Amino acid sequence: MLKNAFLALSAFGVWSLPSSLSAIASNSRNAINARYEGLAGVNLGLGGSPIDVALNPANLSLTKGKKVEFGLGGTYATVKFQDRFLDDDPNSNYSNSKTRSSAGPAPYLALKLPVTDSIDYGFAAFVYGGVNGAAEKIDRNTPNGESVNQWAGVNLPGALGAGRRIQETSENRGVFIKAVNGLSVKLGNLSIGGSLEVNYARQTRSIKYYDASGSFEIPGQGVSYESRSNALALSGILGLNYRFSDWFRVGYSYQTRTSFPFDGTYTFNQNDPNYYRSTGVSYQFNLPEKHGLGFAFGPENLKVGIDFVYSNYVTYLKNIHQHLGDSWYPSPQGKTANVIGHLNYRDQWAALIGLEHKITPEWTYRLGYSYNSPIVSPNAANGAQGIVLTFNQVVAAGFSYLTGPWSFDFGFSYFLPGKSLEGGKGTDWALTHAINGPNEKNFVGYSYNVQAINSIGINFGATRSFD
């Protein structure tokens, strides 16, 4: 039988949005290449890079001749999690303060080819997002209020078995990759573009329990989920760019939602053959559509770009639903085959501004700044969340060096420290840790907060012209 009747809420607490450290703290990279990294992600009206096929395909018409670009972005970020449980029973009291750092690479490749004088083709492949959230070996009490030995059916010595204190690790990991094909058609001062995106993703989540010392994983407890290895999804981008004059143009892009078939497998009560269970799960995961409007001002050697971006998270990521093949998922109401996670993400607005100045035929420098409204609110926070979701502001800089047919590009971005976000009392994470048995619900005594401390993004790239 499944012994932990409150495990369902624990699994809810590790749901998190795929995140990436780029110009906007969100689910995907706006600054895919080194050039746009140095502009804090500004690209919609500015354009001029082969990677435009994945951002605003209409801007392919702004790139002359045949070009290929490639590079590698990298991010390093730190997040802090704190929580505290206060109870009338002093033996139940605990607190945690964990700081965790994470790094990840994001390679990219893009090319642009003229088809006719008015039609251009583009292709790109790149890593556009990832998840690496975790709360590792945090103190907590047994989910049902029993001693460790009673709860887990083990025989740990002394206070390790007689007490209620355990440690918990919640992990949420994933990767998101795109391959994009697109065309741009130029009609006078108007360019129209469209791209077809093939998306690949994988996602895993798990909860493990340890004894109070953190040295022994408790068998027969915990839960894990793994999506299938070939989760593919189609999506698309429509783009426009209109040149009003030599010094002013406007760009617009619409990116459709992406619906991943994250069917996979759930396993329960791991590491104990007497209680191990495995079953299939049906699950669609949606990333929202995105609208972007951009402006570019100035002569070719001194451009200012301004972008506004809106992402519709509420429609798709308020709640998520999973349907299991068997009624083995434990919940306070008993075993169930239907799992609901309450993400409660908010729609996001972002404003970006960038400056690109070509000071000599060889050297160009860039500066950028962006601000975004936060995706998460107190009723959406959890301890195993992706790192970037409480960031609001980023500053960026970069440069290019042109020699012959080659341009070597560098971009750097720094996310200003995010505010500490106090978690709500009714979130999935709070319910997981405030309930210690059917008759022990201490919502007042449990509190937690998350904060993105810092993030650095570095991007090296090169562009080769063949004309």
Locate the domains of the chain by residue range.
Answer: 7-465
- Amino acid 20: pLDDT: 46
124 pLDDT exceeds 70?
A: yes
Q: What is the DSSP string of 341-388?
A: EE-----EEEEEEEEEEE-SSSEEEEEEEEEE--S--GGG--TT--GG
Paired tokens of 46:
């500015």
Percent of the chain, pLDDT > 90? 57
Cβ atoms 250, 230 nearer than 8 A: no
pLDDT at 21 (0 to 100) = 40
Give the pLDDT confidence score for residue 437 in this predicted structure. Answer: 72
Q: So what's the pLDDT on residue 8? A: 40
Tell me, what's the pLDDT at 68? Answer: 98
pLDDT at 296 over 60: yes
Model confidence, pTM? 0.90
Fold of 7-465: Porin (2.40.160)
Is residue 25's pLDDT more than 70?
A: no
pLDDT tens-digit profile of 298-350? 999 999 999 999 999 889 888 888 898 888 776 656 678 888 888 888 899 99
- Residue type at position 193: G
Q: What DSSP state is assigned to residue 218? A: P
Please name which of 83, 66, 98, 129 lies closest in space to residue 311, comparing C-alpha atoms: 129
Where is pLDDT greater, at 389 or 444?
444
Of 114-118, 221-225, 390-394, which range is least confident? 390-394
Q: How confident is the model at residue 55, as a pLDDT?
A: 96
Q: Kindly report the average pLDDT of the chain as a whole number.
A: 87
**pLDDT score for 441:** 84
Question: What is the structure's pLDDT at 275?
Answer: 62
Whether residue 7 is predicted with pLDDT greater than 70 in this model: the reply is: no
pLDDT for 12 equals 44
Question: Which residues have C-beta within 8 Å of that of residue 252, sequence separation ≥ 6?
Answer: 44, 56, 239, 240, 241, 291, 292, 293, 294
Q: 24 φ, ψ to 5°?
A: -125, 135
The rounded distance, in Å, linking the Cα atoms of 50 and 365 is 19
pLDDT of 166-205, one tens digit each? 999 988 888 899 999 999 999 999 999 999 999 999 999 8
For residues 38-56, average pLDDT: 96
Q: What is the pLDDT of residues 383-426, one digit of tens each?
A: 776 555 667 889 999 999 999 999 999 999 998 888 888 888 88
Out of 5-14, 194-203, 248-257, 324-333, pick the least confident. 5-14
Q: What is the percent of the chain where pLDDT is above 70? A: 90
pLDDT at 26 over 70: no
Average pLDDT over residues 67-78: 92
Residues across the chain: 467
- pLDDT at position 388 is 53
